[in-house]
Chain A
């Protein structure tokens, strides 16, 4: 059982929990994830660790409500407990002095990138962060990201924040202006990570992506999260979740994320009906 100590709504359907999990907080490192289960009939869902406060025993998770489980999670309040909360899982992110690192995040990838950007900054890197959102109402953690970045660029798909474009446009401009980039770290929607990797490949900029396949146990036991990297099958839970973006088969990942679309739809409809929120 893990108690929710604090709950915040960061944006439409985007929630942030501070969870009491001292064992995990003490040991976890940026880039790792937890697997949680809300209640007895619940499924096991992986969530990247948003932030850690070891001294207080706090693990932060940020999630977007998309399906039944995340919507149900969103209904929990401060003081409620999550039935199962396991971690830290996966390999931590590589943090060392690379030189100039560009941290690219899309949507709810931002809270995941935050502790990574901070760690990279502390390791002596020049950190340039690029955050992308659909519109200005969805912008997350801009102020926090500014504190850990030497330069921060925020783009919106519709230009409502005055900077229209995708994260790839901003990254392209950085490359074109002659910024010497030693490493790119991309966290967000699969299509974004794919496009970032495609952009950096001809420039031979090492690019690390954090993959989010469907998982079950998260400890290497089931193989649900298999991904192809450089033609080899890897398990994202124990071999990752971070991989060389130039070698990942993103198309396969996108297909595999759709395995349970009909079931996810059915589950969500039943849940919304039960909540009395069914739209007419």
Chain B
């Protein structure tokens, strides 16, 4: 084998000036030739570190090896053994801080494009007339309930059905997928792809119930009367606001609302779809994470002339993925770094017209290790805006914690669960994803789901409930 080329095989994408006018996906995906060329860059390490870098431990060299050989069917089989949402992960996982970060190549050159290859193989499989089915162990006769059909819940469901359990997933919204359908925009994760993965989980025999609000219709205790184990993956629910004057003015959204209107309810297709959204000309998004990037890029596609991102620290401290920031910059987003809103000014009808901000400087590192932003006195200035999206995070959904006696709750309203097993303070109840960690990533939630599924299996086989 020759020396691998130093750079990843590039993925073709829609030109920025074109894509800001539509909601279609930005990258086009690899052709089979491109995928095989990229797969051949893998050194097939004897002790691969990439698998350990993956929260769900996908057999990365295994599936990449098959792609290099051109056996895509076999590659898909290997992938699906450990990952029930490959087309999603290939698009939204932060590979640069996981599998690709620990790839041996990355010491000297660009790592193998694991994410791009994962996406390729999932999309290739979807185009075939039949799909790879996973082997299922014989039925155990035991029942598992999963609360919340987001990344954590779907992973638990997919794993438990393979292990021979009878699985029912309860979803509060009208569509399964959680943040994959309400949060992440179409141009980053097409909803048809989420639907495809959900359909696959259904086809394996998982019973998916929508419009079912656990905590209100049935409590966890009631579910424990019908099921042998319950997994809670209800996610990060309630949006944070800054609590500054004027924040309830018209035109000011939480990112959750802005994105839910656009993604889940398809407000970008109004009036064909009934849900409206304010299509501002001067849109400011507050925050520096992936959700802020998604919101600001959505604003552009909804017709904003100017889409700004207001972030209180500098570019280096932004929690958003580099690829997202890069895409956002290409699309012409305007960044106001070291800037923090202090109040909103509305007109007589209550519509937001200006945001007053303070300039910030960076001080000593805080608990997160990032340098703390400090306000510069007297630096107030105003930016004209007609729409604002507040994307500064969420606190966990309170419905289950409030309605489940005996379930230990952490300081920030999260459910306390053992990270090694997903076990909570209540026998038979497991939890994982954002409801345990606070807002994090899709793949971390899936990793927690994987751990919980194995732990559910162990509990249901042994009947032992040990929590460390």
**A positions within 8 Å CB-CB of B:** 23-24, 27, 37, 41-44, 68-69, 83-89, 216-217, 219-224, 226, 228, 233, 235, 238, 252, 255-256, 258-260, 263-264, 266-267, 270
Contact B248 A226 (CB under 8 A): yes
Contact A266 B271 (CB under 8 A): yes
A58 to chain B, nearest CB (A): 16
Partner pick for A222 among B243, B257, B278, CB 8 A cutoff: B257
The verdict on B172 contacting chain A, using a C-beta distance below 8 Å, is: yes
Contact A220 B238 (CB under 8 A): yes
Task: List chain B residues, Cβ under 8 A from A260.
Answer: 276, 278
Task: List chain B residues, Cβ under 8 A from A85.
Answer: 211
Task: List chain B residues, Cβ under 8 A from A89.
Answer: 213, 216
Most chain A beta-carbon contacts within 10 A, residue among B212, B238, B278: B238
With contacts A84-B211, A88-B216 taken as known, whether A252 is within 8 angstroms of B174 at the C-beta atoms is: no
Contact B397 A219 (CB under 8 A): yes
A65 to chain B, nearest CB (A): 15
Contact A219 B213 (CB under 8 A): yes
Contact B272 A41 (CB under 8 A): yes
Contact A42 B274 (CB under 8 A): yes
The CA of A268 and the CA of B72, in the complex, are separated in Å by 50
CB contact list, B212-263 vs A, under 8 A: 212-213, 216-218, 237-239, 241, 243, 247-248, 250-251, 253-254, 256-257, 260-261
A66 to chain B, nearest CB (A): 14
With A216-B265, A238-B238, A267-B270 known, 20 other A-B pairs at CB within 8 A are A23-B212, A24-B217, A27-B216, A37-B174, A84-B210, A89-B213, A219-B172, A219-B173, A220-B397, A220-B399, A221-B237, A222-B254, A223-B257, A228-B248, A233-B248, A238-B398, A255-B250, A255-B349, A259-B250, A264-B276
Partner pick for B274 among A220, A259, A267, CB 8 A cutoff: A267
**B positions within 8 Å CB-CB of A:** 172-174, 182, 210-213, 216-218, 237-239, 241, 243, 247-248, 250-251, 253-254, 256-257, 260-261, 265-266, 269-276, 278, 349-350, 397-399
Partner pick for B239 among A44, A222, A255, CB 8 A cutoff: A222
Contact A217 B274 (CB under 8 A): no
Contact A86 B260 (CB under 8 A): no
Contact B399 A219 (CB under 8 A): yes
Task: List chain B residues, Cβ under 8 A from A23.
Answer: 212, 217-218
The CA of A198 and the CA of B273, in the complex, are separated in Å by 40
The CA of A52 and the CA of B275, in the complex, are separated in Å by 29
The chain A residue sitting closest to B256, CB to CB, is A222
B326 to chain A, nearest CB (A): 29
Contact B398 A220 (CB under 8 A): yes
The CA of A86 and the CA of B399, in the complex, are separated in Å by 15
